[in-house]
Structure 1
Amino acid sequence: MTVNVGAFRPAAACLLVGLLVLGAAQPAVAAPRRAEQWYVDELRIEQAHKLSTGRGVVVAVIDSGVNANHPDLKGQVLPGGRSDGGSGDGRADAQGHGTHMAGIIAATNASSDGVDGIAPGAKILPIRLDDSAEDDAPYDDVLVSRGIRMAVDGGAKVINISLGKPSAVTPEEVSAIQYALDHDVVVVVAAGNTANGSVKVDAPASVPGVIAVTGTTRGGRFWSGSVQGPEAVVAAPGDDIYNAGRDNGYGWGDGTSDSTAIVSGVAALIRSKYPNLDAPNVINRIIRTARDAGPAGRDPQYGFGLIDPVTALSANVPPVSANPLLDPAAVTSPAPAQSADAAEEFDVTQHGDRGGPTDQQVMVVVIGVAVVVVLLLGLVVFLIWNRRRYRREAALAAEVPDHLLDQEPPGGYGPPGGYGPPTGYPPPPGAGYAPPSGYPPPAGYAPPSGGYPPPSGYAPPGYGPPGGAPPPPPPPGSGNRS
């Protein structure tokens, strides 16, 4: 018996010797790591993350363990266990296969040039099978069965099994999987690889009720290294899958192991987006929103079709009361809930992640805050400028020299030459104006006390009563005393 794992190609040929990060050697690739993840773009994972990131969901990885110190998995890996009874909590991985699966599911792209996971908000529960550091370590159905039960008891809502054997299932496997299904857990299992000698769907992927996953290449073509069979449920990318690897590094994987991890990540997205859905309805949503490929309906290569994360998160899917993979009517009549074309038109604002605000909502809030801050800064700048301008003007006025200012002479200003007050205008206080030479006083104008002095050479005319009348008597007291 051999482990059904993807051929994990060495990454050393594509790595540069290089960077030390926090004291640990980190290999660097010639091209950005995210650019190698063609499947992330083909599955529209960035768009899917606007709907859900898998927050709050625990995914168990039953494998070779998971390196919890990998830069793109730090903080993502919970204490797990070992189904072989050895010491440790599963957070170590000498082989690198389990770390690769965990990275596909939940890598956070936390390093300077890291990789993306399908469900970066999910947590990984590692269940380590043994201490083997070899890719071809024998599959042990007892250890796998025990690991399934450990994962269920550890709180996992999705179980990823990226391994198997080309032989019949055992009662232990059937019992363990039934235990998981009875506890509302979605079980996702690799269908198997032809390179490992498999010619039909491996065990335990052949157990009814699990999601058996086959592999595809770029563009959705069926991968020639994948097995096929009537037990196939969905297909997902499995060729040249780039993600985390052993020794804190990165590498490529080929196989239905990688395809299975992708589907497990999608199951986590759904369970986070729809926390009230039970496992049968999560499975139902996956198979009814898959994009049909190959022969119409369910077929041995693609099962119900190609996994479609965005549609699975946004389509209106009728509920079911039982696991559709155990219901013959559901198996023979998938009745997709929504076409691929209709899925393109969905509005992400109607399907926010239940765990918090969507990226669009956050962007609107950030833009609003930025506008308010800019307006406030503009107001402050204007007030400062206006105050400084006022102070400059006041300073300029205060600095005008005194000799440039008009000085009023003592006693005030005299009238200009030749000036006389207009008719009826009272004379100014004091002595008043002296009439100019030869200027008669205007009509009605009374001369000042004492009168005007007569001009030079002037004699008053003789005075006598008119018409020869006798002169008036002198006023009393005007004569001399006797």
Structure 2
Amino acid sequence: MKVHVGALRPVAAGLLAGLMLLGTAQPAVAAPRRAEQWYLDELRIDRAHQISTGRGVVVGVLDTGVDAGHPDMRGQVLAGGSTRDSGDGRRDPDGHGTHMAGIIAANGTGVVGIAPDARILPVRKPVGAAATKDDSATGIRMAVDGGAKVLNLSYGGAGAVDESEAAAIRYALERDVVVVAAAGNVRSVGPDVVSPAKIPGVIAVTGTVRGGGFWSGSAQGPEAVIAAPGDEVYNIGPDRGYGWGDGTSDAAAVVSGVAALIRSKYPKLSASDVINRMIRTARDAGPPGRDPRFGFGRIDPVAALTADVPSVSANPLLGAAAPSASAPPAAAEDDNFDVTKYGDRGGPSDQQVMVIGIGIAVALVVLLALVAFLIWNRRRHRRELARAGSIPDEALDRMDGGGQGPPVPAGHAAAPPPGYGPPGGYPPPAAHSRPGGYPQQAGYPQSGAYPQSGGSPQPGAGAYPPQGQAHPTPPAQSPYAPPGDNRP
């Protein structure tokens, strides 16, 4: 039997299209190293990203530079500057600055940043002891002048506050910049909060460990403002790889990312209101109120993005504007918030698009499979009839689509054409007056002349005419006749 492939080509093409659609509707592949980023789960960052991703916000990173060629930094790094030369900051011989930038805004190729749609403005300064307070002051002003609305300072030095550095901080605050700085690490600078974190108006960030406890390597003091994950923070590493980092530098980068989320969600908020929102929604830890370890509490991105926080007229970390330790935190739309109210991107979310696309693709594939089955079943039935009637495939194909039903196999009676039969049709069975099924007609045998079903004619009066006489011919007008001859 010849198989006609042409009839199945449209079905095959449809199935291929459906499978292609199903392939394009698959969700985006998650960052392969996301499972190592435990701190994102504690911060409920996936929920925060349903509200804001940091789009439209520039974060200045004053550090060792940022490697713009790292896969997780591609498309994220703007041309910045350098405090000692004419470089644009997009080179990092040390790796520290790139690690900070990844925590803030990694694009998800390998790891996920706190604010993956924010942009990084790198300003490179010398590493370690080679850096001076003047480098810090110069770099702060360069980042502010470059358009940064959040400034991450993951470095610090022990001792008294340098006036040039303090003046640069005031320069940033006056220009509506949120300044975030690391409180310091005990092993390198001692137990006290370092500068620039301890300069008034700066968000001094201490470190926490998995589960929310205080990290023992973190500096502490009355200048502490907020705490964030700072132990075993997995993100971008040296040599365009990945690795873990420990320290308040990492914690400060986390808070800088949260500040970017808030500034993106509420673009009209002042820097003072952004700071106030973070400290009012922090999760209290340690002794009630502000304390030297956790400050006002652990950072809570979701609450900071959803809480009803009243506006302030000045930076709450400056002098009389500073909130009291007993001030209650603002109420947040925490576990029952409506995500549809907050998205910073129009239209359906990626998850909704994925579900809709998969649903359409599955429905299309099912529909096409059903069509293919019906076509196959119809052709199978026709082939069976063809085999029974010895009809060639070519004749069967020519008949297909001609408006007629399947051919009648040899040896089978064809159905009568429409309108066949005597005028007026056949009378109903009730019209038969004789038990044998035929009405009495002149010239036909009388009652008893025909045997019952399965019997033989019996001799008797009126059963058959005498020998030599012809059988009577039925009247021409009779519409009925026995099937065949009555002769023995």
Q: So what's the TM-score if we normalise by structure 1?
A: 0.71
Deviation of residue 59 (structure 1)? Answer: 1.1
Task: Report whether the alignment pairs 1:115 with 2:111.
Answer: yes
Structure 2 distance, partners of 1:230, 1:301, is: 8
Structure 2 distance, partners of 1:81, 1:382, is: 66
Structure 2 distance, partners of 1:421, 1:308, is: 101
Structure 2 distance, partners of 1:372, 1:402, is: 40
> Could you tell me which residue of structure 2 aligns to residue 69 of structure 1?
69
Structure 2 distance, partners of 1:199, 1:405, is: 104
Structure 1 distance, partners of 2:161, 2:252, is: 19
Structure 2 distance, partners of 1:382, 1:443, is: 57
Contact 1:199 1:227 in 2 (8 A): yes
Structure 1 distance, partners of 2:229, 2:471, is: 124
> Could you tell me which residue of structure 2 aligns to residue 240 of structure 1?
232
Q: Which amino acid aligns with 1:55?
A: R
- Name which of 336, 343, 350 aligns with 2:334: 343
> Could you tell me which residue of structure 1 aligns to residue 206 of structure 2?
214
> Could you tell me which residue of structure 2 aligns to residue 88 of structure 1?
87
Structure 1 distance, partners of 2:105, 2:359, is: 32
> Could you tell me which residue of structure 1 aligns to residue 320 of structure 2?
328
Cα distance change on mapping 1:207 and 1:402 into 2, 3 Å? closer
Q: Is the deviation greater in 386-395 or in 152-161?
A: 386-395
Q: Which amino acid aligns with 1:120?
A: P
Cα distance change on mapping 1:355 and 1:396 into 2, 3 Å? same
Q: Which amino acid aligns with 1:119?
A: A
Written as runs of structure 1 = structure 2, the 5 A alignment for 1:296-335 is 296-326=288-318, 328-332=320-324, 334-335=327-328
Contact 1:139 1:164 in 2 (8 A): no
Cα distance change on mapping 1:274 and 1:398 into 2, 3 Å? farther
- Once the two structures are superposed, residues 162-194 of structure 1 have per-residue CA deviations (whole angstroms, 9 ceiling, x without a partner) of 011112223322232222222222111111122
Give the total of aligned pairs: 386
Deviation of residue 307 (structure 1)? Answer: 0.6
Structure 2 distance, partners of 1:37, 1:440, is: 109
- Once the two structures are superposed, residues 224-264 of structure 1 have per-residue CA deviations (whole angstroms, 9 ceiling, x without a partner) of 22222222110111122222122112222221111100101
Written as runs of structure 1 = structure 2, the 5 A alignment for 1:173-212 is 173-212=165-204
Structure 1 distance, partners of 2:206, 2:42, is: 17
> Could you tell me which residue of structure 2 aligns to residue 126 of structure 1?
122
Structure 1 distance, partners of 2:259, 2:409, is: 89
Cα distance change on mapping 1:217 and 1:387 into 2, 3 Å? same
Structure 2 distance, partners of 1:334, 1:436, is: 133
Cα distance change on mapping 1:377 and 1:145 into 2, 3 Å? farther
Q: Which amino acid aligns with 1:385?
A: W
Deviation of residue 421 (structure 1)? Answer: 10
What stretches of structure 1 of length at least 5 have no aligned partner? 1-31, 408-419, 426-434, 447-482
> Could you tell me which residue of structure 2 aligns to residue 274 of structure 1?
266
Deviation of residue 92 (structure 1)? Answer: 0.9
> Could you tell me which residue of structure 2 aligns to residue 413 of structure 1?
none
Deviation of residue 211 (structure 1)? Answer: 1.0
Deviation of residue 310 (structure 1)? Answer: 1.8
Kindly name which structure, 1 or 2, has the bigger radius of gyration based on alpha carbons: 1
Structure 1 distance, partners of 2:413, 2:378, is: 30
Cα distance change on mapping 1:440 and 1:245 into 2, 3 Å? closer
Structure 1 distance, partners of 2:467, 2:204, is: 129
Deviation of residue 382 (structure 1)? Answer: 4.8
Deviation of residue 223 (structure 1)? Answer: 1.7
SS of residue in 1 equivalent to 2:205: strand
Task: Report whether the alignment pairs 1:362 with 2:375.
Answer: no
Structure 2 distance, partners of 1:286, 1:336, is: 10
Structure 1 distance, partners of 2:220, 2:360, is: 54
Contact 2:78 2:120 in 1 (8 A): yes
- Name which of 417, 420, 423 aligns with 2:441: 423
Cα distance change on mapping 1:383 and 1:324 into 2, 3 Å? farther
Cα distance change on mapping 1:402 and 1:55 into 2, 3 Å? closer
SS of residue in 1 equivalent to 2:469: coil
SS of residue in 2 equivalent to 1:109: coil
Percent of counterpart pairs with the same letter? 63
Structure 2 distance, partners of 1:211, 1:381, is: 66
- Name which of 218, 224, 231 aligns with 2:223: 231
Deviation of residue 304 (structure 1)? Answer: 0.7
Deviation of residue 321 (structure 1)? Answer: 3.0
Structure 1 distance, partners of 2:285, 2:230, is: 16
> Could you tell me which residue of structure 1 aligns to residue 145 of structure 2?
153
Deviation of residue 153 (structure 1)? Answer: 2.1
Cα distance change on mapping 1:424 and 1:106 into 2, 3 Å? farther
Structure 2 distance, partners of 1:443, 1:346, is: 96
- Once the two structures are superposed, residues 414-464 of structure 1 have per-residue CA deviations (whole angstroms, 9 ceiling, x without a partner) of xxxxxx996379xxxxxxxxx995368699999xxxxxxxxxxxxxxxxxx
Cα distance change on mapping 1:354 and 1:325 into 2, 3 Å? farther
Cα distance change on mapping 1:365 and 1:280 into 2, 3 Å? farther
Q: Which amino acid aligns with 2:88?
A: D
Structure 1 distance, partners of 2:467, 2:76, is: 112
> Could you tell me which residue of structure 2 aligns to residue 438 of structure 1?
469
> Could you tell me which residue of structure 2 aligns to residue 469 of structure 1?
none
SS of residue in 1 equivalent to 2:244: strand
Deviation of residue 308 (structure 1)? Answer: 1.0
Q: So what's the TM-score if we normalise by structure 2?
A: 0.70
For the aligned residue pairs, the C-alpha RMSD in angstroms reads: 3.3
What stretches of structure 2 of length at least 5 have no aligned partner? 1-31, 392-407, 415-437, 444-465, 478-488
Q: Which amino acid aligns with 1:438?
A: Q
Structure 1 distance, partners of 2:472, 2:234, is: 119
